[in-house]
């Protein structure tokens, strides 16, 4: 929202410290048309303000989800703001069957994870635009998705990329060793080590500024101010120089001084530019590092983040400390999925049930 819009919208907000105005109270009770219009304008301004304040990646994801919903309602010949359980379950089935449109045939059936995200985005849009949402609609859509998952499992079909493969410490070291002795290589090593020990997402590194990284005697302090989750994390010094985020960061900053983006583009002539890397470019850097190291599986920023969680938990770190370091929300199901790969062997209920040969 522009400053002018915000000023106009918030100008109507009452001062809670002001004495009660009987006329104002009467307006609220009688519900005059001009008052309703002002309240609706304030609601609209609040929606714009909150939407503008979302992380760019979240806005883009919601926009893609709403575009899919729009295509579906056109194909089904129903109003855009249809919010009954029939419309929502139909959306799941439409995605399951390749999302056909009026101007093109059906494509590849969507993966369950994609459908789950599309449902969330469609519900966000319906609520935002004031649709009369069926209270049973969201649950009905989730049940339809569960039916789809079960059918895929029964047929032995896997769709989607699945969970990212977590990298272990040896893989991080291999990727760091494979970084060339160039400006781009120094940047890549800093991104790898900070990405692993800071459990960062691609969007975190893309929006990181040089001033968000503080060098201290014991390591780095990382202040993630823009991203899906924000917060401060301490990245301790490591004895191995190729694993140490502090060492890697200082080497990169020697060739990239300034107060701009923390991680910048480096051209084919190894010249450091001023522009920051996009989230997709961050992912590409990490993926290339895995390829250079000859790893057997694709590597993404999510691989580093998942790897930090599993490796630190395997080494005995407390779950609360892991969540704090990676800015996971309390009770995060994503984090629990990571540590279950460790606990399935550490605390297996079948473990004591054995006999000697």
pLDDT digit string (tens) for 214-268?
999 999 999 999 888 889 999 999 999 999 999 999 999 999 877 899 999 999 9
- 241-262 burial, b at 16+ Cβ within 10 Å, e below that, comes to ebbbbbbbbebbbeebeeeebb
pLDDT above 50 for 354: yes
For residue 26, the model assigns a pLDDT of 44
Region 261-277 average pLDDT: 94
CB 186 within 8 A of CB 255: yes
Model confidence pLDDT, tens digit, residues 17-35:
444 444 444 444 445 678 8
**pLDDT more than 90, % of the chain:** 66
pTM of the complete model beyond 0.85? no
Buried b vs exposed e over 148-161: b needs ≥16 C-beta within 10 Å?
beeebeeeeeebee
The residues near 205 (Cβ < 8 Å, ≥ 6 apart) are 191, 194, 195, 262, 263, 277, 282, 301
Give pLDDT tens digits for 70-116.
999 999 999 999 999 999 999 999 999 999 998 889 998 999 999 99
Average pLDDT of the residues in 174-181:
98
Q: Mind listing the domains of the chain with CATH numbers?
A: 1-53 (no CATH), 56-156 (no CATH), 169-343 (1.10.443.10)
- Determine the pLDDT at residue 12: 45
* 320-338 mean pLDDT: 91
Q: Is the pLDDT of residue 176 over 70?
A: yes
The full length of the chain comes to: 357
Position 60 scores a pLDDT of 84
């Amino acid at each position: 929202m522009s400053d002018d819009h915000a000023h106009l919208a918030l100008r109507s907000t009452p001062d809670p410290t002001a004495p009660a105005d009987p006329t104002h109270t009467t307006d609220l009770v009688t519900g005059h048309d001009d008052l309703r219009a002002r309240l609706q304008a304030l609601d609209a301004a609040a929606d714009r303000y909150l939407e503008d304040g979302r992380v760019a990646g979240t806005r883009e994801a919601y926009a893609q989800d709403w575009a899919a919903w729009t295509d579906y309602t056109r194909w089904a010949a129903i109003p855009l703001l249809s919010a009954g359980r029939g419309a929502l379950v139909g959306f799941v089935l439409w995605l399951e069957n390749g999302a056909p449109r009026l101007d093109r045939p059906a494509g590849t059936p969507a993966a369950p994870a994609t459908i789950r995200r599309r449902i969330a985005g469609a519900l966000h849009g319906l609520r935002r635009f004031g649709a009369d949402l069926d209270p049973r609609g969201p649950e009905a859509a989730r049940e339809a998705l569960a039916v789809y998952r079960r059918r895929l499992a029964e047929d032995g079909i896997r769709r989607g990329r699945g969970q990212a493969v977590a990298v272990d410490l040896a893989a991080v070291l291999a990727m760091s060793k494979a970084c060339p002795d160039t400006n781009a290589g120094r940047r890549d090593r800093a991104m790898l080590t900070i990405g692993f020990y800071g459990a960062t997402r691609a969007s975190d590194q893309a929006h990181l500024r040089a001033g968000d990284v503080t060098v201290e005697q014991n390591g780095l302090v990382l202040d993630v101010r823009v991203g899906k989750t924000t917060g401060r994390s301490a990245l301790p010094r490591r004895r191995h120089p190729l694993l140490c985020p502090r060492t890697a960061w200082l080497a990169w900053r020697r060739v990239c001084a300034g107060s701009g983006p923390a991680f910048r583009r480096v051209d084919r002539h190894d010249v450091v530019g001023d522009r920051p890397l996009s989230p997709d470019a961050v992912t590409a850097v990490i993926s290339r590092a895995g390829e250079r190291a000859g790893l057997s599986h694709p590597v993404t920023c999510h691989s580093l983040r998942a790897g930090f969680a599993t490796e630190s938990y395997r080494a005995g770190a407390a779950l609360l400390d892991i969540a704090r370091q990676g800015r996971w929300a309390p009770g995060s199901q994503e984090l629990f999925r990571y540590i279950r790969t460790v606990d399935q062997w550490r605390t297996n209920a079948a473990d004591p049930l054995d006999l000697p040969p």
